[in-house]
């Protein structure tokens, strides 16, 4: 028996079979958690935001028409949840607090240490970017969304998304290389 | 070209298996002005991004979700929107009561309207309207007379417009307009006075005043307008003063021709 598509499940939820939302939760809890975690690097905060997304999907289930892709709609909701969260906490900007980071933690061999250090630097560089640009890279690199889909989520054209992603990558590269130089010194 | 670099760079970063294609794109990027070092750094950063570890969400998240879903499912059915509630309430529960109230209200309204219509004495009503109309006409007459004596030409013009709005002009208004026609120093005021007097030309006094003006007016525009008015009114008594005018005064050729034509038409 073929499993229900996302749209079919969401239409069932819209028509009153609320329990079916569990199916969508199981399918998307990890990607959504990764989305929020990469945006803010806050474990418990990300869990709460995932919960908020599903609460909104329930609350506004009547708005789901079934014509578009479910995951686009879901990421639009997630994007709004994140913006609301940032507005509440005044944090829609670069994260400057790296107090939770220890550059040498969990490293074992020399190569492994260097690799870990590089990844941690990259993570720092990512967190130094403006959240809007960080979100673009996350949608593109972690959620494996197409440029067109990202455009639908963020309300801009495919070409515009490509330009923004390229610029965000260039900025990330510059921040990372600068931090790398400072670290070497 | 700029967009081309962005497209090429993204295509280069996404190209993993086809090495020939990747090399081809790389050459294009280098030709477009991107340095090899920059490209290598970009590739390193992009590759590093996919290696960043993400922890799994805790059980707490799943538990909280199902608790929330259960609480949401057990909530009483949601009330529909305001409009739907009103209409459904109307149709399902209170329809008969609503219909009765509506019918009674309509009956009461039309009874009151009918009673008012039939019981109001019509003669009184008509008399009141006539009285009001007379009062309004008197007020307009007073206003006209006041404005015509004003020193400003604009105010005097306003007075003449007031006179033109009257359905029937009292003799006082006619006299005032004739007075303006004969004595006002402003040509525009005199021209408008002629046009207004033409409205009341059914009165012999007005026709006589307009004919008399032919011999008292010296301005060409006024004379041309008077000739037009005489033609419109077919006032044959104006022929004599116009002939006198031709004999006694030196007129502009245009005025002379117009008066001659008018005389020929009226004779």
Query: Which residues on chain A are in Cβ contact (under 8 Å) with B5?
Result: 166
Query: Which residues on chain A are in Cβ contact (under 8 Å) with B50?
Result: 141-142
Q: Would you list the DSSP string of B79-141?
A: P--HHHHHHHHHHHTSHHHHHHHHHHHHHHHHHHHHHHHHHS-HHHHHHHHHHHHHHHHHHHH
Q: A103 or B58, which is more confident?
A: B58
* Minimal-distance CA residue of chain B relative to A170: B42
- Whether B55 sits inside 8 A of A142 (CB atoms) is no
Domains and CATH numbers, chain A: 6-89 (1.10.1740.10), 110-184 (1.10.10.10)
pLDDT at B77: 58
- Best residue of A14, A17, A23, A25 to probe chain B, by most B CBs closer than 10 Å: A25
Looking at the structure of chain B, the number of domains it has is 2
Q: Residue A32 — very low, low, confident or very high, per pLDDT cuts 50/70/90?
A: very high
Say whether both B135 and B40 belong to one domain. Answer: no
Query: Is residue B137 less than 8 Å (CB to CB) from chain A?
Result: no
Identify the CATH number of the domain in which residue B216 sits: 1.25.10.10
Domain span including residue B9: 2-49
Minimal Cβ distance to B69: which of A18, A118, A170: A18
pLDDT at B246 over 50: yes
Q: What angle do CA B56, B57, B58 make, to 5 degrees?
A: 115
pLDDT at A100: 40
Q: Residue B79 — very low, low, confident or very high, per pLDDT cuts 50/70/90?
A: low
- Best residue of A46, A53, A138, A166 to probe chain B, by most B CBs closer than 10 Å: A166
pLDDT at A17 over 80: yes
- Whether A162 sits inside 8 A of B7 (CB atoms) is yes
Q: Distance (Å, rounded) from C-alpha B66 to C-alpha B61?
A: 9
Segment A76-83 mean pLDDT: 91
**Which of A109-118, A174-183, B16-25, B53-62 is predicted with the least confidence, judged by mean pLDDT?**
A109-118
pLDDT at A126: 87
pLDDT at A57: 92
Q: Distance (Å, rounded) from C-alpha A133 to C-alpha A163?
A: 11
- Whether B48 sits inside 8 A of A54 (CB atoms) is no
Q: Distance (Å, rounded) from C-alpha B249 to C-alpha B123?
A: 60
Whether B54 is in a domain gets the answer no
Q: Distance (Å, rounded) from C-alpha B102 to C-alpha B89?
A: 16
Q: Distance (Å, rounded) from C-alpha A85 to C-alpha A88?
A: 5
Q: Distance (Å, rounded) from C-alpha B230 to C-alpha B235?
A: 5
pLDDT at B105: 92
CA dist B187 to B219, B222, B231, Å? 8, 7, 21
What percentage of chain B reaches a pLDDT higher than 90? 16
Q: Which two tokens stand for residue B122?
A: 């019509």
Q: Which two tokens stand for residue A59?
A: 């609350």
pLDDT at A107: 42
Minimal Cβ distance to B45: which of A21, A30, A122: A122
Whether B6 is in a domain gets the answer yes
Q: How far away is chain A from the Cα of B48, in angstroms, using its nearest Cα?
A: 6
* Minimal-distance CA residue of chain A relative to B58: A47
Crossing angle between the packed helical segments A6-14 and A43-59, to the nearest 10 degrees: 60
Segment B178-197 mean pLDDT: 90
Q: Would you list the DSSP string of chain B?
A: -HHHHHHHHHHHHH--S-HHHHHHHHHHHHHTT--HHHHHHHHHHHHHHHH---PPPPHHHHHHHHHHHHHHHTSPPPP--HHHHHHHHHHHTSHHHHHHHHHHHHHHHHHHHHHHHHHS-HHHHHHHHHHHHHHHHHHHHHHHHHHHT-SSHHHHHHHHHHHHT-SS--HHHHHHHHHHHHH-S-HHHHHHHHHHHHHTTTSHHHHHHHHHHHHH---HHHHHHHHHHHHHHT-GGGHHHHHHHHHHS---HHHHHHHHHHHHHH-
Q: Residue A111 — very low, low, confident or very high, per pLDDT cuts 50/70/90?
A: low
pLDDT at B7 over 70: yes
A35-49 residue pLDDT tens: 999 888 788 889 999
pLDDT at B92 over 60: no
pLDDT at A10: 92
Whether B45 is in a domain gets the answer yes
Query: Is residue B45 less than 8 Å (CB to CB) from chain A?
Result: yes
What percentage of chain B reaches a pLDDT higher than 70? 90
Whether B154 is in a domain gets the answer yes
Whether B33 is in a domain gets the answer yes
pLDDT at B223: 92
A86-109 residue pLDDT tens: 887 765 554 444 334 343 344 445
Whether B24 is in a domain gets the answer yes
Instruction: State which of B49, B71, B88 marks the end of a domain.
Output: B49
Q: Residue B161 — very low, low, confident or very high, per pLDDT cuts 50/70/90?
A: confident
Reference B137, options B171, B99, B111, B163; nearest CA is: B163
- Whether B3 sits inside 8 A of A22 (CB atoms) is no
CA A52 from chain centre, in angstroms, equals 14
Instruction: State which of B12, B32, B49 marks the end of a domain.
Output: B49
Minimal Cβ distance to A118: which of B3, B41, B48: B48
Query: Which residues on chain A are in Cβ contact (under 8 Å) with B51?
Result: 119
Minimal Cβ distance to A165: which of B5, B10, B72: B10
Segment B240-248 mean pLDDT: 90
Query: Which residues on chain A are in Cβ contact (under 8 Å) with B7?
Result: 162
Q: Which helix (H) or strand (E) holds A44?
A: helix A43-59
Q: Distance (Å, rounded) from C-alpha B158 to C-alpha B185?
A: 16
Whether B251 is in a domain gets the answer yes
**Which of A55-64, B92-101, B140-149 is predicted with the least confidence, judged by mean pLDDT?**
B92-101
The answer to whether B34 touches B5, Cβ cutoff 8 Å, is yes
- Residues B25-42, buried b or exposed e (16+ Cβ, 10 A)? bbebbeeeebeeebbebb
B11-23 residue pLDDT tens: 888 877 778 888 8
A123-176 residue pLDDT tens: 888 888 888 888 888 888 888 788 999 999 989 999 899 999 999 999 999 998
The answer to whether B206 touches B174, Cβ cutoff 8 Å, is yes
Segment A18-34 mean pLDDT: 91
Mean predicted lDDT score pLDDT of chain B: 84
Segment B97-116 mean pLDDT: 89
Instruction: State which of B17, B32, B49 marks the end of a domain.
Output: B49
Whether B81 is in a domain gets the answer no
pLDDT at A73: 92
pLDDT at A185: 59
């Amino acid at each position: 028996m073929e499993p229900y598509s996302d749209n079919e499940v969401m239409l069932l939820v819209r028509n009153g079979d609320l329990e079916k939302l569990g199916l969508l939760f199981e399918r998307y809890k990890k990607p959504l958690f990764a989305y929020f975690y990469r945006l803010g690097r806050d474990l418990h905060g990300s869990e709460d935001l995932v919960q908020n997304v599903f609460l909104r999907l329930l609350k506004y289930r009547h708005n789901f028409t079934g014509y578009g892709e479910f995951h686009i709609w879901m990421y639009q909701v997630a994007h709004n949840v994140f913006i609301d969260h940032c507005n509440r906490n005044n944090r829609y900007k670069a994260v400057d607090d790296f107090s939770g980071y220890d550059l040498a933690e969990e490293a074992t061999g020399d190569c492994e240490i260097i690799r870990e250090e590089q990844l941690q630097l990259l993570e720092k560089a990512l967190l130094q970017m403006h959240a809007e640009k960080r979100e673009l890279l996350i949608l593109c690199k972690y959620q494996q969304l197409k440029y067109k889909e990202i455009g639908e989520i963020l309300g801009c054209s495919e070409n515009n998304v490509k330009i923004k992603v390229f610029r965000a990558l260039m900025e990330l590269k510059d921040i990372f290389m600068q931090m790398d130089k400072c670290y070497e010194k | 070209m700029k967009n081309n670099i962005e497209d090429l760079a993204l295509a280069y970063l996404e190209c993993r298996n086809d090495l020939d294609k990747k090399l081809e794109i790389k050459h294009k990027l280098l030709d477009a002005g991107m340095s090899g070092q920059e490209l290598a750094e970009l590739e390193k950063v992009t590759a590093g991004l996919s290696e960043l570890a993400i922890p799994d969400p805790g059980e707490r998240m799943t538990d909280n979700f199902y608790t929330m879903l259960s609480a949401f499912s057990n909530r009483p059915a949601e009330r529909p929107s305001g409009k739907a509630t009103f209409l459904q309430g109307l149709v399902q529960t209170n329809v008969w009561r609503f219909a009765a109230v509506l019918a009674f209200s309509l009956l009461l309204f039309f009874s009151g309207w009918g009673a008012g219509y039939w019981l109001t004495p019509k003669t009184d009503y008509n008399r009141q309207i006539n009285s009001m109309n007379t009062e309004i006409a008197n007020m307009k007459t007073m206003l006209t007379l006041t404005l015509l004596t004003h020193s400003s030409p604009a105010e005097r013009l306003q007075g003449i417009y007031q006179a033109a709005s009257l359905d029937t002009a009292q003799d006082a208004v006619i006299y005032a307009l004739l007075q303006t026609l004969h004595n006002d120093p402003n040509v525009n005021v005199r021209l408008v006075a002629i046009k207004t007097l033409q409205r009341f030309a059914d009165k012999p006094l007005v026709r006589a005043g307009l004919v008399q003006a032919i011999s008292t007016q010296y301005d060409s525009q006024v004379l041309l307008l008077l000739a037009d008015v005489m033609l419109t009114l077919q006032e044959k008594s104006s022929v004599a003063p116009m002939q006198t005018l031709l004999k006694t005064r030196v007129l502009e050729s245009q005025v002379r021709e117009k008066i001659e034509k008018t005389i020929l038409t009226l004779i």
